[in-house]
Amino acid sequence: MSQRQLRAGELVRHALVDILSREDLRDPDLQGVSVTIGEVRASVDLKHMTAFVSALGPTDPQIVAKALTRCAPFLRGRLARAVEMRFTPQLHFYADGSYDEARHIDDLLTSPEVARDLKHEDER
C-alpha cells in the first residue's frame, strides 16, 4: 500500500469512529453496541474503503459488519461532511478477526507445554 492509501485509510477510520460515537444508528443490531474499527484499507483510486470492525462485548462481529453494511449509505453521507476528499469512498465492512487470532496466540504462548519448552531453552 502506498503512503497515500495509508493516510486516507487512517483519515477515514478516525472519521468513522467519530461518526459512530456521535450518531444514534437506527439499526436494531447496532443498538447499545460499541463498535471498534481496527483498520481501514483504501483501494488504489481511493474510491472504495474496507473497514474491519469488531464489537466490544458478546455481540458477534459478523452481525455488526452486516448491520454497518446496511447503514453504509448513511455513513457515507456523514463521511462526506467530515472529511475533504475528491470522492467520498464507498464503504465496505468486514468482521475483524485479528483480535481473535491475537488471543489464540496469547493462549498458546501461556499454555503449559510452551512454558515447559521455553524453560528448557533458558537452561541451555
CATH number of 3-96: 3.30.300.20
Place of cell 528448557: 120
Residues 2-26: what's their mean pLDDT?
A: 93
Residues 20-42: what's their mean pLDDT?
A: 89
Cell of 6: 495509508
Residues 73-86: what's their mean pLDDT?
A: 93
CA gap 55, 35 in Å, rounded: 5
Spell out the residues 6+ positions from residue 23 whose beta carbon is closer than 8 angstroms to its own: 78
Indicate the average pLDDT of the chain. 88
Q: pTM of whole model > 0.85? A: no
- Tell whether the model's pLDDT for residue 44 goes beyond 80: yes
Residues 118-124: what's their mean pLDDT?
A: 64
Residues 26-44: what's their mean pLDDT?
A: 91
Cell of 74: 448513511
Residues 52-68: what's their mean pLDDT?
A: 89
Compute how many other C-beta atoms are within 10 angstroms of the C-beta atom of residue 15: 19
Q: Which tops the pLDDT comparison, 56 or 70?
A: 70
